[in-house]
A and B are shown apart, each in its own frame.
Chain A
Amino acid sequence: MSRTTIICIGCPKGCRMKVESERGEIKKISGFSCPVGKEHARKEFENPTRILPTTVRVKGGELPLVPVKTAAPIPKKLLLPAMREIARIEVEAPVYTGQVIRKNFLETGVDLVATRDVKRETSDRARITA
Chain B
Amino acid sequence: MVMRFNYDLVVIGGGPAGLAAALEAENSGIENILLLERDKYLGGILQQCIHNGFGLEYFKEELTGPEYAGRFIERLKGSKIKVKTGTMVIKISKNKEVLALNREEGLLTIRAKAIVLAMGCRERTREAILIPGDRPAGIFTAGTAQRYVNIEGYMPGREVVILGSGDIGLIMARRMTLEGADVKAVLEIMSYSSGLVRNKVQCLDDFDIPLKLRHTITSINGKKRVESVIVSQVDDRLRPIPGTEEEIKCDTVLLSVGLIPENELTREIGIDLDGVTGGPVVNEVRETQVEGVFTCGNVLQVHDLVDFVTEEGEIAGRAVSKYLKGEREWRDQPVRLEPGKNVRYIVPHRIDYRDKDRKRIKLFMRVKEPGKDVKIKLRDGTGKVLLAYKREIVTPGEMVTVFLPEALIDENMSRIKISIEKEGR
Contacts and interface: CB of A to CB of B under 8 A. Distances in A.
Given A76-B206, A83-B178, A128-B152, A69 B393 contact: no
B397 interface: yes
B410 interface: no
B396 to A, nearest CB: 10
Interface string B359-401: 0000000000000000000000000000000001111011000
Given A67-B50, A128-B40, A12 B196 contact: yes
A69 B149 CA distance: 15
Interface string A46-75: 000011111101000001110101000000
Given A9-B201, A115-B50, A130 B152 contact: yes
A67 B54 CA distance: 15
A69 B64 contact: yes
Nearest to B372: A13
B329 interface: no
A56 B50 CA distance: 12
A116 B74 CA distance: 11
Contact of B66 (A51, A52, A116, A126): A116
Given A115-B66, A117-B70, A53 B50 contact: yes
A57 B153 contact: yes
Size bracket, chain B contacts? 35 or more
A50 B70 contact: no
Contacts of A117: 70
Contacts of B95: none
Best-buried of A12, A14, A76, A126 by chain B (most CB within 10 Å): A12
Nearest to A34: B392
Best-buried of A7, A53, A64, A117 by chain B (most CB within 10 Å): A53
A76 B50 CA distance: 18
A117 B71 CA distance: 12
Given A65-B150, A128-B152, A54 B67 contact: no
A12 to B, nearest CB: 5
B206 A54 contact: no
Contact of B52 (A55, A69, A79, A80): A69
B266 interface: no
Nearest to B70: A97
B309 to A, nearest CB: 19
A11 interface: yes
A63 B151 contact: yes
Contacts of A115: 50, 63-64, 66-67, 70
Contacts of B62: 51
Nearest to B71: A97
Interface string A115-130: 1110000000010101
Given A79-B178, A83-B179, A116-B47, A9 B151 contact: no
B70 A53 contact: no
Contacts of B196: 12
Contacts of A52: 178
Given A9-B197, A12-B393, A67 B66 contact: yes
30 contacts: A7-B201, A7-B205, A9-B202, A11-B197, A51-B52, A53-B52, A53-B64, A54-B178, A54-B179, A64-B152, A65-B150, A65-B152, A67-B50, A67-B65, A69-B64, A79-B206, A80-B178, A83-B179, A97-B70, A115-B50, A115-B63, A115-B64, A115-B66, A115-B67, A115-B70, A116-B47, A117-B70, A128-B41, A130-B148, A130-B152
Closest 4 CB pairs of A and B: A116-B66, A67-B50, A14-B197, A9-B198
